[in-house]
Amino acid sequence: MEFAKAASARRLLRWQSSLTRPKSWVCSSCRSRAVVATRHATRHSSSLPASPPAPPASPADKPYYVTTPIFYVNAAPHLGHMYSMVLADVFKRWQTLLGNRAILCTGTDEHGIKVQQAAALHDMDPKEFCDENAEKFDELAQLSRIDYDRFIRTTDEDHIQAVRHFWYLLREKGLVYEKKHGGWYSVSDECFYPESQLVRHLEPYTGAVYMASAETRNKVEWVEEKNYCFRLTELKGALLNFYEKNPGWVEPAYRMNEVVDWVKNNLEDLSISRPVQRLTWGIRTPDDPSQTIYVWVDALINYLTAARVPSLGPDESSLGGWPADVQVIGKDILRFHCIYWPALLMALDLPLPKKMLVHSHWTLNKRKMSKSLGNVVNPLYAINRWGVDTVRFYLLFEGGIADDADYSNNTLVVKYKKYLQWGFGNLLGRVTRSKLWNLREIVVNAGAKEVPSGAQRSTPIQEAAEGFEKVLADLAPTVARHMEQLNPVAAIRQIMEAGGQVNEFLTQTQPWSLVKSTDPEVKENAERVLFMAAESLRISGILLQPFLPDKAAKLLDTLGVAQDVRTFAHAVPRCDFGYGVPAVNPGRCRDDSLFPPLIEDTDVSYHGSFKTRRKATSRSEILQTED
């Protein structure tokens, strides 16, 4: 055992040095004495980081690294899980569009009391239960067109080893101590709450009264047990200093206020193990088999595991992507990711993530989704019903970053018709289907002519085309600014507005009337208008690729845009004159268009088992509840 611990400690030091490379080190014998000393006395606070620096700039060879939270497998996926995945996917695809190397990690959190209880309830072995449910989340990721590089599971062997390594480092630092712990514990939230964060809660559906978390309203119970604790309170000053120096670290900004308030008023040392008698399903503490590592310590380390820390050597540490550029999380796990996670990293002098994007929840009929209420939106049914890019569009267009968003099939249909069917779908048909002109000839002619000077642009149509070209030139930079601010909602809305503007532009100029003229100047004006319409489709199609990957690809194929000119650099007017010959049939009518009419049944809610793969055909079938 001692030999194994020593070997593990050596590996951990290589892990730490590969990420931080401090100027000086304490010798191993002094470190050993420090560990012994801190078992009997409080560690001197000056040895902990007092003022951590801002998240460091990445080396040039570091890929952009984005993560979703890993999802708990005690129940089937719901719409909120898909929303987290889609947000992260958009950030990854956006970086790829910019020409940057990017990686995305998603996966499942499979240990803990909740999973242990859920497996017992289903009379299944925990691993078998996890295998079955993890497959559902992986299936959702694939159906949602999530371009992930790793689907990590906390039962993966490399992750188990990484967690044990992390544990040894904390022990070596003297930041873990053993004590008899008593506190109010929530099984649902997998955490202890201080008494100041508790309320007496009346369950409206059963009339039961119990103590609950003021934050989540989940039941708590008093638990006394012997376990290991992490000296979280010793990092209070370092956390507050970091927040002060990096006020934009958490987005949206008001979430940072919640984090700071918690650290100032509720911070306690963190219990990081559970007795095996209570929790068998998890990673055992490597130096004490009577304890199981706390699920949230286990889960958070997945982001390091996926970045291949500590398996990469000192000269390769940036290749795995750490530190993460943005971590997408839901508001219900704010404390774990924005207090516990940075504290654990600070404790070991590891770089912190650069940004934490905290999104709000999806509700149904203004009520929080709940399996017990039967109002959980099953994303697989929604995808099966509306199509994957339609659901992605709705989640991104209506989704809540700062505030909760309410799922409504009626609203989905309205937005689809306005922005997709009557927006880009109608526009693409108007430009590519008409027999009055040849799109390829229009593009070639535009490339062969010089842009007329301002003095020559005297007609209203010429002036309108010139003004619209300026609007198109501003589209990509504006969308890029929104994405830099981690605001994909504003970004996709900007693109959708552009589609509406060009349809209005066509309606006002009526090129289908002008193109019939025998006057060369009038016909030239018609071609100028049509070229601007085609350019708006091309540029919008390029920018839509991270948001609606399948439909954007079909739009660009219909225009005949070559694969090698679909990057962000090409999302400017007059940079590509090679398109105009469709690679796919543009269709003849609206029913075979890019965004055909939806089959409407708008008052239907989707929830149910992921095992149903065929399209539901009746209201009663769609409303089938989970087993």
Query: Hey, what are 534's tokens?
Result: 């085609």
SS3 content of the chain, % helix, strand, coil (to 5): 50, 15, 35
Maximum average pLDDT range among 397-406, 501-510, 558-567: 558-567
In angstroms, the Cα distances linking 28 to 20, 31, 286, 347, 391 are 18, 5, 20, 17, 55
* Residues 6 or more apart whose Cβ sits within 8 Å of residue 37: 174
Tell me how far the alpha carbon of residue 595 is from its chain's centroid.
Answer: 26
326 DSSP assignment: E
Neighbours of 62 (CB within 10 A): 18
DSSP letters, 247-313, are TTSEESHHHHHHHHHHHHHH--PEE-EEETTT--SSPEETTEEEEEE-HHHHHHTHHHHHTTTTTS-
- Evaluate if residue 603 carries a pLDDT over 70: no
Helix 2-20 and helix 157-172, axial crossing angle in degrees, nearest 10: 90
How far is it, in rounded angstroms, from Cα 74 to Cα 77? 9
pLDDT, greater one: 75 or 205: 75
The band of 85, judged by pLDDT with boundaries at 50, 70 and 90, is very high
Percent of the chain with pLDDT over 90: 61
Buried b (16+ CB within 10 A) or exposed e, 449-483: eeeeeeeebeeebbebbeebbebbeebbebbbebb
- Domains of the chain, start order: 2-359 (3.40.50.620), 415-592 (1.10.730.10)
Report whether pLDDT(282) > 60.
Answer: yes
The answer to whether the peptide bond before residue 549 is cis (omega within 30 degrees of 0) is no
- 157 Cβ neighbours under 8 A, 6+ residues apart: none
Looking at residues 404-411, what average pLDDT do you find? 94
Tokens 């709450």 — which residue? 193
Per-residue pLDDT, 33 = 37
Spell out the residues 6+ positions from residue 589 whose beta carbon is closer than 8 angstroms to its own: none
Q: Cα–Cα distance between 179 and 517 in angstroms, integer?
A: 89
pLDDT band, residue 259 (cuts 50/70/90): very high
What does pLDDT average to over the chain? 84
pLDDT digits (tens, 9 = 90+) for 460-497: 888 888 888 999 999 999 999 999 999 999 999 999 99
Asked whether 557 and 580 are in contact (CB, 8 A), the reply is: no
**Looking at residue 9, what is its pLDDT?**
46
Angstrom distance (rounded) from CA 120 to CA 126: 8
- CA dist 40 → 174, 370, 617 (Å): 10, 46, 68
Sheet holding 367-368, edge to edge: 367-368, 362-364, 405-407
Cα angle 338, 341, 344; round to 5: 140
Query: What's 219's DSSP letter?
Result: B
pLDDT for res 200: 78
CA-CA distance, 609 to 602, in Å (whole number)? Answer: 20
Q: Is the pLDDT of residue 28 over 50?
A: no
For residue 103, give both structure tokens. 């990686």
Please state the rounded mean pLDDT for residues 213-222. 72
Average pLDDT over residues 354-373: 85
In this structure, are residues 65 and 325 in contact, taking their beta carbons and an 8 Å threshold? yes
For 166-208, write each residue's pLDDT tens digit.
Answer: 999 999 999 999 988 667 777 666 667 777 777 777 776 666 7
What is the pLDDT, as a whole number, of residue 55? 55
Q: What pLDDT is recorded for position 621?
A: 32
Assess contact for 319 and 305: CB atoms under 8 A. no
What pLDDT band is residue 102 in, cutting at 50, 70 and 90? Answer: very high
CA dihedral 484, 487, 488, 489 (to 10 degrees): -150
CA distances 592 to 576, 583, 584, 597, 599, Å, are: 27, 15, 12, 9, 14
For the record, the structure tokens of 161 come out as 């080893």
Percentage with pLDDT > 70 across the chain: 79
pLDDT band at 516 (very low <50, low <70, confident <90, very high): confident
pLDDT tens across 300-344, in order? 999 999 998 876 655 565 678 999 999 999 999 999 999 999 999
Identify the pLDDT of residue 618: 35
3-state secondary structure of 328: strand
Query: What was the pLDDT predicted at 43?
Result: 38
| Residues facing residue 178 across a β-bridge | 228
What's the CA gap between 109 and 73, in Å, rounded?
Answer: 6
Kindly report, residue by residue over 366-393, the tens digit of the pLDDT.
Answer: 887 766 667 789 999 999 999 999 999 9
- Residue found by looking up tokens 């509306």 in the block: 386
Q: Is 594 in contact with 424 (CB distance < 8 Å)?
A: yes
